[in-house]
Structure 1
């Protein structure tokens, strides 16, 4: 447990949990990175939001979507259960993204581009070493679905607020 320093006469603001500070807005992201952030948030939210992932994958992959959805579930489980610390994320409707979401998005984008070393570097920032390569292998298998999703016309709703709803891993 960390102790907050005391500076007499100075109001020290509460620190954002590591990995949760905003680092950019969603509109700055490329289509693969944007998809990765949205699906990370949707998967962690659960329920109908996870159903959205399956529908989107089926839209671009047809009958091959089932194994891709299972691979995405396995990737999320690997990332969250082997995390170096709790993985942070903003709310599904938030227009910005945080450091952890950025690392995950870059992991997925590097894997989609078949850049194994870069993908491993980003995986290693989020998860423990023994599990990093397994997460990269899953992300590499998901590359095709993310590339196809990136080529689809942009019909996704645009977030309308910038509330920083941080969530810890479940």
Structure 2
């Protein structure tokens, strides 16, 4: 068994759905510290506009703060430029994707594997907001 099974590569980013790739990218930027968080904010602002980007960035910060503060164990990830996707990253990305797609029960179930069960509903709500915010950046801009 690998020493850190949560970091074991289980996929390649290029094989994941767009929202899940975005979530992993956000997670990696955020976990890389203040410089990464600033870069994430700038990237979001380019895609979503400044107001929406600020709300999404705040949502990401809250989601990751609650996750890190109450996780059953630390989530492990890969470097920002790594083409692989680790097990923890994929689970977290799928969790956010399910929440954004409206699969609330499944998202809450996954959240209860990440944090204490009493926080699962709250975490799923935060994930839904983040996922929906990120999905806005995928929509074609017809009116500007």
TM bucket by the smaller chain? 0.7 to 0.9
Distance 1:131 1:61 in 2: 31
Aligned residues: 139
> Cα gap change, 1:96/1:119 in structure 2, threshold over 3 Å: closer, same or farther?
same
Partner of 1:20: 7
Q: 1:3 matched to which residue of 2?
A: none
User: Per-residue displacement from partner, 1:41-62 (whole Å, max 9, x unpaired)?
Assistant: 1101012211122223323144
Structure 2 residue runs of 5 or longer lacking an equivalent are: none
Q: Could you tell me whether the CA contact under 8 Å between 2:9 and 2:86 is conserved in 1?
A: yes
Alpha-carbon shift at residue 139 of structure 1 (Å): 1.1
1:29 CA drift (Å) = 0.5
1:37-116 matches, cutoff 5 A? 37-59=24-46, 60-116=48-104
Distance (whole Å) between structure 2 residues aligned to residue 114 and residue 52 of structure 1: 29
Distance 1:141 1:33 in 2: 14
Matched, 1:36 2:31: no
Structure 1 runs not aligned, ≥5 long: 1-13, 153-170
The structure in which a higher percent of residues are helix is 2
Q: Which residue of 2 aligns with 1:126?
A: 114
SS of 2:77's equivalent in the other structure is coil
Q: What CA distance in whole angstroms lies between the structure 1 residues aligned with 2:109 and 2:49?
A: 28
List per-residue Cα deviations over 1:9-54 (Å, max 9, x = no partner): xxxxx73313111111111101100000111011010122111222
Give me the whole-angstrom Cα distance separating, in 1, the residues matched to 2:74 and 2:100: 25
- Tell me which stretches of 4 or more aligned residues in structure 1 moved more than 4 Å: none
